[in-house]
Structures are given as C-alpha cells and as structure tokens.
C-alpha cells in the first residue's frame, strides 16, 4: 500500500508537506529517474516557490539536471516534458484543493503521470534512505526556461482551426480562478481573435476570486457574466488548468462528461481509433464512441492510468468525467486549455450554439451516494460487494478494475472505494432520474449490508 502516493502524486495540507519532506521525496524520485533530466513547474499557491525550491534541491542532490519553468499550467509541464525529451517531471500543485494544500505530481518520460504503483517504488527508495547523493563534482545545473507558455499557445494554435474561429470572432468570458490558467488563457483567446472578458485572471495563491474547483456554485459569477453580457460561452478552469468546465450561451452549466463527449465526437469524425476513459464515466461517451465505430477502453480512476493506456493503445483521445480531456497531439496529460480551444472551434465550425451541441447528445440521469465503511477493511468489503453484485446481477457485464461497475444495457452502476477516505461511493446512471435513484438506493443498501457483516 502506498504510504504517500494517491492517484496522481502526493497531495496534503501544507503542515504535512514541508520542504524537508518534498526535498527528500524528490531526491528519491531523482534516483528512481536514474539521475536524468527533470522538468519542474508549479501553480500559483503561496507555498509554491518554497516547495519548488525544495523539490529542485532534492533533484539536484540526486544528480539530476533540472529545467525550471516557473508558474505554468500543469498541462504545459506535461507537454514540455515530452517535447524536451525529459526523463521525468515534478509539478508543485494541489490542483483544485483549498489554498492551504499543496502537492507534487510526478511524471515519467513522455510526460506520463506516475500512478500509485510506480509511486510506491519512489517511496521504497525514500524510506530506505538510499537516494543517490551526487558528490560536489557531479552536481548538475538548473536551466530556467521561460518560453513554455508561448510554446503551449503555439502548439494549441497549430492544432486548432484558427481561421474558423477568427472569422466568427466569438465572445467568450473566461474565469481563470487566480490559478495557472491566468498565465495562458487570456493570451490564447486573444490570439484566436475572440472578444475576451477575463475574470480572476491575476495569479494569486490566496484564490481571492473563487474556490479553485469549478463547481456550478463556485463559478456563479461567470454564469451571470455570460448571460448579462450575452457571451457565446463561459470557460472556467481549476487551479492548475488541466480541467475545464463550460457555460453555454444561455448560462447552462455543461457537465464535464458532456464536453468530453463533444470532444470525442469531434475527434472521431476526423480520426478513428480507440478512446480511453475511467470506469466512472457516463455512457454518453460510450455512445458517441460506438456511434463512430470505435472502441471505448476503461481504466481505473486516475489521470496516469488514462495516459498509460492511451500510449499503450496509441489511442486518439482520453479523458475523465470531471472535465479533463487528453489530446495526444499536444501531450499525454489532461489539457484544459486545448480542450477550451477545441470546443470553441466546434462551435465556430458547426455554426451551432453550445447549448444546441449539448442538446444533440444522448441524455442520461445520474444519482450518487456514499456508504461509511466505519474504518473496516475496505478490500474485504469490496470483495464481498463484488460477490453479491455478481449474484444479484448474473446477466450484467461486470468490470472490476476499480470497485465494481455493472452495465445493465442502457444503465449502469458502480460501487468503488474512495482512495483517501473511509467510504464506498455508489453511483448510478439511467434513462430516468427515478431509475437512477432506485439503483443507487438498492446498491447502497447492498453495500451497507456488507459493511455490517464484515
């Protein structure tokens, strides 16, 4: 079991992720990466500079060569890691967590995130105290590279139908959450010829504008600005800009699985191939993938699993339901900025407003709940839950790579253990709200029964 690593790196409150820990773990990561060339970037958090310096010190001590990018979006680091042929990377970012948190996202060659299992190898080196320690005459240098944001903008523009967007001159309101999107998004949309109104676009680790997670409640200012000003679209990122959420021209909140489905539809019309997502993703993505004659591959929940599988299958697209889409022509990481440019391109090339494009997608209803596992053995609980689901649904197609997902033809449910808390989450999707609620209450009761019996 991983001691420190979650689904993508090590994320904690600052009190539990102090510089000496960061430096030590990065020395272990540098050792794991064979003292190679490591790229480092960070988000706008107040603890970012302190922890970045600690990370760089640890990497240098392990004999690594370091390239520092400064404050940039996470997808920018993932892109440069691949393009600069680095042996790995570290991003100091706690993504959408509150301002008193911070984290390290680690990636390997090609900018593919390190999943928990590989993180455990880094932990073993850290715990053994046997990280490489370069002698004075083996220490390498730090290179400061300040063109990463421009590189990223240029790569997005090169892979977008800029002419279609520039001709249409759409009006967009963007909300950068005072996070790293502030460094790139206002310039990208200006380059695309849009009329742009920016909210929370000054980098600020106190996140004074809004909470960094783009939930419907947190981006209410953006929603009202879109409708008041009559914009074509609103766009909001999380703190490190790998995830993006859209607001349609009527002020409607577009759930991440819908924008992912639009991205898949758009991609598969131009290029066929496998698509990768997690077992927690809506059937709307499966429907649009299969409608184009392509296959949707499921992986466990966690960005690195998506990237790894995409690379293995040479997939044309990947993503997850919270608004993270991977565009392999740019990088192997979720890129909220590329996704924003492509959805805007789709609106401009189709001539349809975003609300109409969304309305053309299949409609599903969902329902979610969770069951307290009372600090009991989650693995034993899940084993029993899988058995019971198998007995109760002999005809269902089961996927047990992460909890248990049962597909019942047009509807499905999943029971999966939380990675960080003592819960089993139960989620269902169906053709009506009543049916989705019915499925969650039925399987919530099943999980509760199992918890009681363990």
Cα–Cα distance measured from residue 78 to residue 259, given in angstroms and rounded to the nearest whole number? 22
Extract the tokens encoding 449.
């029964």
CA torsion sign for 44, 46, 47, 52 is: positive
Q: How far is the CB of 90 from Mg ion (least distance, A)?
A: 15
List CB contacts of 15: < 8 A, sequence separation 6 or more: none
Tell me the residue nearest to Mg ion as measured from the CB.
95
List CB contacts of 410: < 8 A, sequence separation 6 or more: 283, 430, 431
- In the block, tokens 């407003």 appear at 353
Closer residue to Mg ion (CB): 238 or 402:
238
Closer residue to Mg ion (CB): 125 or 325:
325
Q: How far is the CB of 158 from Mg ion (least distance, A)?
A: 24
Catalytic residue chosen out of the listed positions 95, 182, 259, 367: 95
Cα–Cα distance measured from residue 218 to residue 223, given in angstroms and rounded to the nearest whole number? 10
Q: Which residues bind Mg ion (CB under 5 A)?
A: 95, 238, 240, 242-243
Closer residue to Mg ion (CB): 215 or 350:
215
Cα–Cα distance measured from residue 196 to residue 437, given in angstroms and rounded to the nearest whole number? 41
Q: How far is the CB of 392 from Mg ion (least distance, A)?
A: 36
Q: How far is the CB of 91 from Mg ion (least distance, A)?
A: 10
Element (H, E) at 38: strand 37-42
Is 453 noted as a catalytic residue in this protein? Answer: no
Element (H, E) at 198: strand 195-199
Q: How far is the CB of 27 from Mg ion (least distance, A)?
A: 26
Please answer whether residues 345 and 267 qualify as being in contact, where contact means their C-beta atoms are separated by less than 8 angstroms: no
Residue 203 phi, psi dihedral angles, 5° rounding: -60, 130
Closer residue to Mg ion (CB): 31 or 212:
212
Give the residue from 48, 33, 145, 62 showing the smallest Cα distance to 100. 48
Closer residue to Mg ion (CB): 245 or 316:
245
Closer residue to Mg ion (CB): 284 or 337:
337
Q: How far is the CB of 96 from Mg ion (least distance, A)?
A: 5
The residues annotated as belonging to the active site are 95
């Amino acid at each position: 079991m991983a001691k420190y690593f979650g689904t993508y790196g090590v994320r904690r409150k600052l009190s539990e992720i102090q510089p000496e820990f960061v430096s030590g773990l990065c020395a272990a990561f540098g050792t794991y990466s064979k003292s190679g060339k490591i790229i480092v970037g960070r988000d706008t958090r107040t603890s970012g500079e302190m922890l970045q310096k600690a990370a760089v010190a640890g990497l240098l001590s392990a004999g690594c060569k370091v390239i520092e990018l400064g404050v940039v979006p996470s997808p920018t680091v993932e892109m440069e890691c691949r393009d600069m042929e680095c042996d790995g990377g570290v991003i100091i970012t706690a993504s959408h967590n509150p301002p008193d948190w911070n984290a390290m996202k680690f990636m390997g060659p090609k900018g593919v995130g390190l999943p928990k299992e590989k993180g455990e190898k880094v932990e073993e080196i850290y715990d053994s105290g046997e990280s490489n320690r370069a002698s004075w005459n083996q220490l390498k240098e730090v290179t400061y590279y300040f063109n990463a944001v421009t590189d990223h903008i240029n790569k997005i523009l090169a892979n977008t139908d800029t002419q279609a967007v520039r001709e249409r001159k759409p009006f967009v309101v963007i909300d950068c959450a005072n996070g790293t999107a502030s460094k790139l998004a206002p310039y990208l949309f200006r380059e695309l010829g849009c009329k742009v109104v920016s909210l929370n676009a000054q980098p600020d680790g106190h996140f004074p504008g809004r909470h960094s997670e783009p939930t419907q409640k947190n981006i209410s200012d953006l929603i009202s600005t879109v409708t008041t000003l009559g914009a074509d679209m609103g766009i909001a990122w999380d703190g490190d800009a790998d995830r993006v959420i859209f607001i349609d021209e009527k002020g409607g909140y577009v759930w991440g699985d819908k924008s992912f489905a639009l991205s898949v539809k758009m991609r598969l019309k131009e290029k066929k191939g496998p698509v990768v997502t997690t077992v927690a993703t809506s059937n709307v993505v499966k429907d649009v993938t299969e409608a184009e004659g392509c296959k949707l591959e499921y992986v466990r929940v966690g960005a690195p699993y998506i990237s790894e599988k995409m690379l293995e299958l040479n997939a044309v697209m990947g993503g997850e339901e919270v608004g993270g889409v991977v565009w392999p022509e740019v990088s192997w990481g979720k890129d909220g900025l590329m996704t924003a440019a492509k959805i805007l391109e789709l609106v401009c090339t189709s001539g349809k407003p975003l609300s109409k494009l969304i309305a053309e997608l299949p409609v599903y209803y969902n329902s979610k709940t969770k069951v307290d596992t009372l600090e009991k053995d989650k693995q034993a609980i899940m084993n029993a839950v899988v058995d019971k689901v198998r007995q109760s649904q002999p005809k269902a197609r089961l996927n047990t790579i992460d909890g248990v997902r049962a597909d019942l033809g047009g509807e499905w449910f999943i029971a999966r253990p939380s990675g960080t808390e003592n819960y089993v989450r139960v989620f269902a999707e169906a053709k009506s709200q009543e049916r989705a609620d019915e499925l969650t209450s039925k399987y919530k009761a099943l999980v509760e029964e199992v918890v009681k019996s363990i």
